[in-house]
Structure 1
């Protein structure tokens, strides 16, 4: 399931939430476009899609604003999973 309301994107797989994104990039985003599915490169596989349903939602959803979603202080210590390059530094959000 994919739900996009304005600049808020939410994704589920088999009923489990897998992504929740707020797109604050006003210059780099578009609020309309193509819906696509992606298959990653790998060994031969069989991909099946079933029951695609598209419902057009109203175009006047209010856009989420960064000031309504402050980044928690603890998020400064979040690191990506897996092996990190020796020179990796966590991104700094907000002020100094």
Structure 2
């Protein structure tokens, strides 16, 4: 959200589209954070399940860890994308409110 006072909205829409494209490309170039989070979560969950219980517990814990890690990684990527858009707009002279 920006302060729209004195802003040419057609120019803003073009700048916003450009900034969103930069953010999208940056996210793609970082690789899949959701996938990385899922793998890390599965490894941690599997290890914890193996320590606490048997192979069945390890498999269930790995699955839960993968789910939680994937969600966390995806959320992190979205937050980073929003930060990039805000910084891009600020760099183009807009007063970014949030």
Sort the TM-score into its range (normalised by shorter chain).
under 0.3
Normalising by structure 2, report the TM-score. Answer: 0.18
Normalising by structure 1, report the TM-score. Answer: 0.18
Q: Which has the higher contact order (CA 8 A, sep 6+)?
A: 2
By percentage of residues, which structure has more helix?
A: 2
- Larger Rg, first or second structure (1 or 2): 2
